[in-house]
Amino acid sequence: MKIALVCDWYRPRVGGIELHLEQLAGQLAAAGHQVTVITPTRGRSDDHGPVRVHRLRGWLLPWIGLAWTPLTFRRLGAVLRAGQFDVVHAHSSLISPAAYAALWQARAGGLPAVLTVHSIWGGFDRMFAALNGAFGWVRWPVIFSAVSERVARDMRPLLRFQTVHTLPNAIVPKDWMIAPNLPANGINIACVMRLAPRKRGTALLRALQVVRAQLPAGVRLHCQIAGDGPERRRLEALAKELELTDCVRFHGAVDSSRVKARLAESHFFVLPTVLEAFGLAALEARVAGLPVVAMRASGVGEWLKDDVEGLLAGDDADLARCILRLASDRALLADMTAHNRRTPVSFTWDRAVAAHLALYAQARQLTTA
The 10s digit of each residue's pLDDT in 216-230 is: 888 899 999 999 999
Q: How confident is the model at residue 49 (pLDDT cuts 50, 70, 90)?
A: confident
pLDDT for the residue numbered 144: 97
Mean pLDDT of the 73-96 span: 96
Amino acid at 352: A
Query: CATH homologous superfamily for 2-170+348-368?
Result: Glycogen Phosphorylase B; (3.40.50.2000)
Residue 369 pLDDT > 80: no
Q: Which residues are registered as beta bridge partners of 60?
A: 67
Instruction: In whole angstroms, give the CA distance from residue 208 to residue 190.
Output: 12
Break the chain into its structural domains and give their ranges: 2-170+348-368, 173-342
Residue 279 pLDDT > 80: yes
- Nearest CA among 72, 94, 48, 125 for reference residue 196: 94
Q: Is 139 within 8 Å of 161 (Cβ atoms)?
A: yes
Same fold for the domain at 2-170+348-368 and the one at 173-342?
yes
Q: Is 201 within 8 Å of 272 (Cβ atoms)?
A: yes
Q: Is the dihedral of CA 20, 333, 197, 277 positive or negative?
A: positive
Mean pLDDT of the 14-19 span: 87
Instruction: In whole angstroms, give the CA distance from residue 84 to residue 111.
Output: 9
Residue 165 pLDDT > 90: yes
**CATH says 173-342 is which class?**
alpha beta
Residue 185 pLDDT > 90: no
pLDDT for the residue numbered 212: 94
